Every structure is written in C-alpha cells, then in structure tokens.
Amino acid sequence: MQENLEILSRAINEWMPEGRPVVQAPPAAELEQMLDLKLSDEGSGRGTLEAAIQSYLHFNPDVSQAEFYKLLYSGQNKYALLGDWITSLSNATMHTYQVGPVATLMELELIRQWNKLVGFGDKGEGVMVAGGSQANLIGMMLARHHACPEYKTKGAQGKTLVAYVSDQAHYSGQKAANVLGIGTDNLIAVATDDAGRMRPDALAAEIEKSKAQGHTPFFIGLTAGTTVTGAYDPVAACSEIAKTHGIWLHIDGAWGGPILFSEQHRHLLADSHLADSFAWDAHKLMNVPITAAVILVKHPGALKACCSGGGGDYLFHADENADYNLGERSIQCGRRADALKVWLSWKAAGNNGFAEKIDFLQSIKADCVAQIEERDGLEMLAPANYLNVLFRYKPDNIDDEQALRKLNIEICKTMMRSGGPYVDYAQYKGRTGIRLILANTEVTHDHLERLLDKVQRIGMELSE
C-alpha cells in the first residue's frame, strides 16, 4: 500500500508538471508504435508499470486545466477525487445494503436532494447509473413499462411503440431505442426552432401522425441543455401534449440539470416537476470523476416494477434491510459506489457552492459572447443560454458553407496540434462552428482573450 501512495505522489508531483500542454497525443497509430503496451506470459516489475503510468498520464488531455474547453466538464473537484479514491479502497458494491451500508444511505440522501431540486418532492425515487446515456435508457424503459407493462415478460406482441425527442437531442436516445427493442426508426427527431428548442406544434403533429398509422406513442424525451448549444426544451407546453395523450414525459438534464441550483438561472428549467422522470449527470457540471449519474422518477415503486427480476434466491434477502437494497431498482448487479464522491463534494460545497459556480460560469459565458460579438471575423451560430458557446471564424471573403466548415475544423486541429487551448467543432443547423464549453471556474477573461486571439490569428493565416 505504501508503494502505491508513493507512486500516486510522484504521479501528481512529477508526472503531471505545472504548465504542461492541455493536449498532446499524437494520432493513435503513431502512439501505438511509440509505446510498448503488449501483454505477455511473463509478469513485469514495478519499473515497467511506473513507466506505463507515466505515459498514460503524459498523453491524456489534462482535463483539470482552464483551457480544456472540449467536453462538458473541466477542472478538478478535489473532494470528489478523494471520494473516488476512497471508493476504490472500500470496493463497496451497491446491490444490497449489507455490502455498501454507508454508500447506500448516502445515495438515498443524494436522491432525496435531487428530487427536491427537480420538484418531484418526498415521494420521488431514483437510482444512480453509469452515465446520462444509461439514465435516458432507464427513462425510456420506464415509459415502455408504463405504456405496456406486459412488454417486460411477453415482448412487443406486434405493437409498434414510438418515442419522440428533438432533432438536437443526445444520441443516447438512439442507443436506448435500439437496446429496448423499440427500433431506431421509431425514434422521431422532432423539429426545433431557431434556438434549438423542440417545437410543441411539431411534437403534436408527429404524435398525430403516429396514431394515424396505428402506432403507440409512449415516450417524450425533452432535453434540458442540449449537447451542442445548451438549449432548453419548453417543458410546460410539451407536458400538456404528453398529458393529452397519456405519454410518459422524460427530461434529459444530463448537462443542463444543475441549473436548478441557481435561483438566478433556474427559470430556464422551470416546470421540471411536470416530468415523470429526469436524467442528471454528476460527472458533467458537478465535475465528479466519471462515472456518476442518476435517474429520478416521480412515481414511487416504478423503478422496481420495471427493472426487478431474479436474485431473490441468493442475493436480495427479505430481512430488515430489504427496503434499502437498491439492486432491485437497477439493471446492474455489481455497481460501483458512485455516491461517496458526489456526497463528499456536495457536503463540502453545499447547494450554495453549486449555485455560485453556475452564476459565475454564466457571467464568464456572457463575457465570452460579448468578446466574440465585438471581434472582426467571429460570429455566434446559436444563442448561448447556458454554458455552450458555438461560434465560428468567418472572413468577409468566404461565404461557402463547406469552405467555412473546412476552415473552422482546421482552426480546431491547428490549436490542438499546438497544445491548446483545447476546443472541439460541431454542426448546428447546417453550419459548422467551434464549440466552447465553459464548465471550469478557473477560466478568466484573459483565458478567453487568449483563445479568441488564437482563433482569429490561425483563421487569418489559413484563409489568406
């Protein structure tokens, strides 16, 4: 154990030096040639293992840095990191109370707090899952169970179930429709308005169309904070439609859910209590090490009714702790105790800590948008309601969309090759831009200035 601590200490102090580039991995085929990662019959000593750890850290993007703008998380949450280490030390598992007693009670407290934020109240339940994709999968599974309880035991029985998400929704909807036997063609991408929000009139029309075909609409999946532009679908209007047709309403708040912490900004997700289920990722804006997420459900007992099956003969004993065995609400058996890292960081920050984080990031976002709008050759491609800033470099002499796409992709790649800042590109309504995610409270006005200067400089060089 002492040896492990020494290696950890060297990893932190020596192998992740201050000021290292935020990104520095060569292409995969090249890296594979550089490193010897082959496993063999013979075991190896500590020196070989240390060298491997060193390379592992060296080539991984440094997600802790302010200039890591690429994904929906950035920075370091020190108590969550500590929690992650302790979780591995304990190796608790979450199927029964007996083998994760404090972890179980922590998870239940987290679920109570999350339900309070979302507005599902005291009766709301939930279970932690391995990411937003799985939370959306369970949301769709709950909807399927609600519409066709016999699907669980008898299968489709000739029914065509149809699900609706917006054309800006995360691709996990397709995965879920595939896994659940719905069929990805029966996942309808509902049209969005200019701001990337689902159009309730288009949703109503799609449902009518399905019904006219004799199909069974069963799931409406709204997004709170779309992945590319951070748009929030209109909950109240879509909830009316869901109610009219008796369809399960799910909200994918994997990215945008934490806005509920902020009194100033939670209006973007007013009416979340109208949904039946809600997906929330703690490993995005709450910046807990991957993975940590939850599926919340308004209706008590729904998770067990939908997910349970088996295990009663050897695992889920009917003893005094039976109500605390989270395994019957889950599709997993062994499940990592993700609660500890979330609980520790929430306990440390309090609700106010997360509210301050959102408010700060919203203000730095506004600063960023203002800088983009006043610079020559830069333009916003979508409204930035949340913490996604989608913009592009567009010189006066180029109007062709394909040429602009190529130029902006090349700007991103050139920055990546030079070690940062690390951004990504994305498409929105036929145009391609640079997607900047503001999720790190270490980001300053100067960081943004440096980034935008670099985008302009590289853009100018490439388009000359």
Ligand X SMILES: *Cc1c(COP(=O)(O)O)cnc(C)c1O
Which of 62, 252, 276, 328 is in the footprint of ligand X by CB under 6 A?
A: 252
Tell me if 223 contacts ligand X by CB under 6 A: yes
Say if residues 450 and 83 touch (Cβ distance below 8 Å). no
| Phi (first) and psi of residue 43, to 5 degrees | -75, 170
Rounded-to-integer distance, Cα 60 and Cα 79, Å: 22
Which of 227, 239, 272, 432 is in the footprint of ligand X by CB under 6 A?
A: 227
**Interaction residues for ligand X, span 353-372 (CB under 6 A):** none
Rounded-to-integer distance, Cα 179 and Cα 437, Å: 30
Question: CB under 6 A: which stretch of 140-148, 203-211, 250-258, 312-320 binds ligand X?
Answer: 250-258
Tell me if 251 contacts ligand X by CB under 6 A: no
**Interaction residues for ligand X, span 67-106 (CB under 6 A):** 72
Interface map 116-155 toward ligand X (x if CB under 6 A): ---------------xxx--x-------------------
Task: Count the site residues for ligand X by CB under 6 A.
Answer: 14
What minimum distance in Å lies between the beta carbon of 139 and ligand X? 11
Query: Of 132 and 433, which has the nearer Cβ to ligand X?
Result: 132
Sheet of 248-253, strand order: 125-129, 293-297, 277-281, 248-253, 216-223, 161-166, 187-190
Rounded-to-integer distance, Cα 220 and Cα 378, Å: 36
Helices (H), 35-77: 46-59
Tokens of 115: 């339900």
In angstroms, what CA-CA distances link 258 with 1, 113, 297?
37, 12, 17
What minimum distance in Å lies between the beta carbon of 93 and ligand X? 20
Say if residues 127 and 329 touch (Cβ distance below 8 Å). yes
414 burial level (CB within 10 Å; 0-12, 13-18, 19+): middle
What minimum distance in Å lies between the beta carbon of 345 and ligand X? 17
- Measured between its terminal Cα atoms, the distance across the chain in Å is 58
Query: Of 250 and 392, which has the nearer Cβ to ligand X?
Result: 250
Rounded-to-integer distance, Cα 151 and Cα 146, Å: 10
Rounded-to-integer distance, Cα 251 and Cα 249, Å: 7
Query: Of 281 and 328, which has the nearer Cβ to ligand X?
Result: 281
Q: Which of 455, 391, 374 is nearest to 421 (CA)?
A: 455
Tell me if 385 contacts ligand X by CB under 6 A: no
What minimum distance in Å lies between the beta carbon of 392 and ligand X? 21
Annotate 79-107 with DSSP letters as a single string.
HHHHHHHHHHHHT-BSSSGGGSHHHHHHH
Question: What H or E segment, with its residue span, contains residue 353?
Answer: helix 339-374
Query: Of 144 and 283, which has the nearer Cβ to ligand X?
Result: 283
What minimum distance in Å lies between the beta carbon of 233 and ligand X? 11
Query: Of 96 and 133, which has the nearer Cβ to ligand X?
Result: 133
What minimum distance in Å lies between the beta carbon of 230 and ligand X? 9
**Interaction residues for ligand X, span 170-209 (CB under 6 A):** 170, 172
**Interaction residues for ligand X, span 390-449 (CB under 6 A):** none
Q: Please identify the residue of the shown chain whose CB is closest to the bound ligand X.
A: 132
What minimum distance in Å lies between the beta carbon of 281 and ligand X? 5
What minimum distance in Å lies between the beta carbon of 106 and ligand X? 20
- CB contact set of 153 (below 8 Å; sequence gap of 6+): none
Which of 202, 254, 269, 443 is in the footprint of ligand X by CB under 6 A?
A: 254
What minimum distance in Å lies between the beta carbon of 439 and ligand X? 11
**Interaction residues for ligand X, span 279-338 (CB under 6 A):** 281, 293
Q: Which residues bind ligand X (CB under 6 A)?
A: 72, 131-133, 136, 170, 172, 223, 227, 252, 254-255, 281, 293
